[in-house]
Amino acid sequence: MSLPIGVLASGRGSNLEAIIRAREAGELPVELKVVISDKREARALRIAAEHGIPAEFLDPRAFPDRVSYDLALAARLKEAGVELVVLAGFMRILSPAFLEQFPLRVINIHPALLPAFPGLEAQRQAWEYGVKISGCTVHFVDVGVDTGPIIAQAAVTVEDGDTPETLAERILEQEHRLLPEAIRWIAQGRVRVQGRRVYVEK
Ligand code: GRF
């Protein structure tokens, strides 16, 4: 049994690539039903198309407001049979109207150890703050910004010679490992959520 997933991405698509690689290596029991972007030029769309995955641009400007866009997005994902929505660099906040349709069925990868440094440019925020350890977090998406229950985290040491860019590169390597792993746990039915706590069966 493979879990039908949909990926939402706005840009480079390296996390999408990591999911595709894991899938093609037979390490991920999922079926990539569709990749949708809010940016016509997103590299993620090209990557999806190259791998034979339906790749679609859904233009936010074609909708009067955020909720109607989100409802169209949810409808498209449902139509494609998606049961888990993976945000991989999707640069929009999803409204409750969207999330209600996929309860505990939307996950996100964030490039910091939440709850530290939510929001944009998390790697730069962490570097500027001067932390010695940062990393990345996979979490369920709730109505807040980067606030949902945490599924998995990986730590990355900040070195003296780091810049925000070199730190971001090392965090990204961990993202590419952690996101497919968390998806695999969910696909295998091993993840249970109790309030804020997420338990993963061994
Ligand atoms: C990643 O750093 C991810 O943590 C953040 O957005 C970036 C997306 O990168 N949410 P990519 O498009 O997957 O290469």
112 Cα distance to chain centroid: 13
Residues 179 and 126 in one domain: yes
The whole-number average pLDDT for the span 135-160 is 98
Q: Where a domain ends, among 103, 130, 148?
A: 103
32-61 per-position pLDDT tens digit = 999 999 999 999 999 999 999 999 999 999
Which CATH number is 55's domain given?
Answer: 3.40.50.170
Interval between CA 110 and ligand 1 midpoint (Å)? 7
- Predicted confidence (pLDDT) per residue in 161-201, tens digit: 999 999 999 999 999 999 999 999 999 999 999 999 999 99
> What pLDDT, on a 0 to 100 scale, did the predictor assign at position 10?
98
The verdict on 126 and 95 lying in the same domain is: no
176 catalytically annotated: no
The Å distance, Cα 90 to ligand 1 centre, comes to 8
Per the structure, how many domains does the chain have? 2
Q: Are residues 4 and 93 in the same domain?
A: yes
Q: Does pTM surpass 0.85?
A: yes
The widest CA-to-CA distance across the chain, in whole angstroms, is 49
Which pLDDT score is estimated for 1? 78
Q: Which among 35, 175, 179 is the best mutation to test ligand 1's pocket, defined by most ligand atoms within 8 Å of the CB?
A: 175
Q: What is the mean pLDDT of the chain?
A: 98
